Structure 1
Amino acid sequence: MLAIGLYNTYDPKRIHEAHLRAIARAAPVAYAFNFHLVLIGFPFEGDSKEIAEEVAKNTTIGEGGKYLIELAKSGKFHAIDFPRKGFPPQFGEVIATTSKPSEDKVIKTIDVAKMALSGKSFLLVIGLGRHGLPKEMFKVARYHLDITDGMGVSLETCTAIGIIPAKIATLMEALKWMRGSKRYYRWY
């Protein structure tokens, strides 16, 4: 399982327009690239389907929340509290997304794709808000991923929400194609 995790750094007590926009923008991306969508520390009440319906009625993004509802129906939309003792194990290894990964925790995008193809699950956590992920998330995460693979380019949140799953899914498809091909190109 691959999952995009949106970590709420705006306001843990009430929902803001920024929350709704980020969720509505992430849902079609998760749906298109077969990722789960996990909300972390959002102040919603109810189960995933109720949350999806609430967000959908407040947005025109993603065909009025259609993809968020589809994710919820298929069991690929989750809302969890801030992790106090770690993340639920069903999400797999936690990867903090950052333009400044720690040298001892850095992972390349191609390695995420390879491990995902071998059946490993990952939760790629993206911080919402101008400060990104809190410091404790970098400690909790087993890996740190710079989606620009060492260039250290800081991406705007919605750009990151789109490019992270797109790049991983593209690399996975390329690796599958190369395995099935008689010629094996070492481009990575």
Structure 2
Amino acid sequence: MLTLALYNSYDPKKVHEAHLRAIARAAPICYAFDFHLALIGFPFNEKPLDLSEKISENTTIGEGGKYLLELAKKNKFHLLEFPKRGFPPQFGTIIATTRKPDEHKEISAIEVAKRALKGESFMLIVGLGRHGLPEEIFKLAEYHLDITDGKRISLETCTAIGSIPTKIRTLMEALKWKKR
């Protein structure tokens, strides 16, 4: 299972328009590249399907929220609280996405792809907000991933949201073809 997780670094008590846009933008990417979508620390009380219906009523992104609804119907849309001691084990290995990975925790996209093909689960966390991911997530994460392959390029949040699943799934497909 591959999961793209959006970490709420904005306001944990109030839903902002930026939250809704990021969720609506992430859903088609996750759907297209067979990723789960998780929201961490968002102020939602609804169940995933109810929330997806509510968001889809208020967006034109992703064909009016169609892909968020599809993810929810397939149990691929998850709502998580801020971690106290870690994340639920079904999400697998935690990876913080960053342009400044700790050299002792750095993992490449090709390594994630190879291990995912062998059945390992990963949750790749993207920080929403000006400050990105908080330090405790970097400490909690087993690995850090620079999706620009060591170029250390800062990507706008939605660009990163699109790049991460696209690159990993493309590498997985290339590795499958290479084995043939």
Normalised by the length of structure 2, the TM-score is 0.99
Amino acid at match of 1:74: K
Partner residue, 1:184:
none
SS in 2 for 1:37: strand
Amino acid at match of 1:154: S
* RMSD of aligned alpha carbons: 0.5
Q: How far does the alpha carbon of each residue in 1:80-112 deviate from its partner, in whole angstroms, 9 at most, with x for none?
A: 100111000000000000000001000011000
Q: How far does the alpha carbon of each residue in 1:135-179 deviate from its partner, in whole angstroms, 9 at most, with x for none?
A: 110000000000011110010000000000000000000000000
Amino acid at match of 1:17: E
Q: How does 1:6-155 map to 2 (within 5 A)?
A: 6-155=6-155
Unaligned runs of 5+ in 1: 181-188
Which structure has the greater CA radius of gyration? Answer: 1
Normalised by the length of structure 1, the TM-score is 0.95
Partner residue, 2:176:
176
| Cα distance between partner residues in 2 of 1:11 and 1:151 | 31
SS in 1 for 2:29: helix
| Cα distance between partner residues in 1 of 2:55 and 2:44 | 10
SS in 1 for 2:126: strand
Q: How far does the alpha carbon of each residue in 1:68-90 deviate from its partner, in whole angstroms, 9 at most, with x for none?
A: 00000001000010011100000
Partner residue, 1:185:
none
Amino acid at match of 1:38: A
Unaligned runs of 5+ in 2: none
SS in 2 for 1:120: coil
| Cα distance between partner residues in 2 of 1:59 and 1:128 | 19
How far 1:13 moved relative to its partner?
0.2
How far 1:58 moved relative to its partner?
1.5
Q: How far does the alpha carbon of each residue in 1:26-58 deviate from its partner, in whole angstroms, 9 at most, with x for none?
A: 000000000000000000012110111111111
Amino acid at match of 2:25: R
Identity of aligned residues (%): 68
Q: When the two structures are aligned, how many residues end up with a matched partner? A: 180
Amino acid at match of 2:37: L
| Cα distance between partner residues in 2 of 1:121 and 1:130 | 28
Give runs of ≥4 in structure 1 deviating > 2 Å: none
| Cα distance between partner residues in 2 of 1:177 and 1:131 | 39
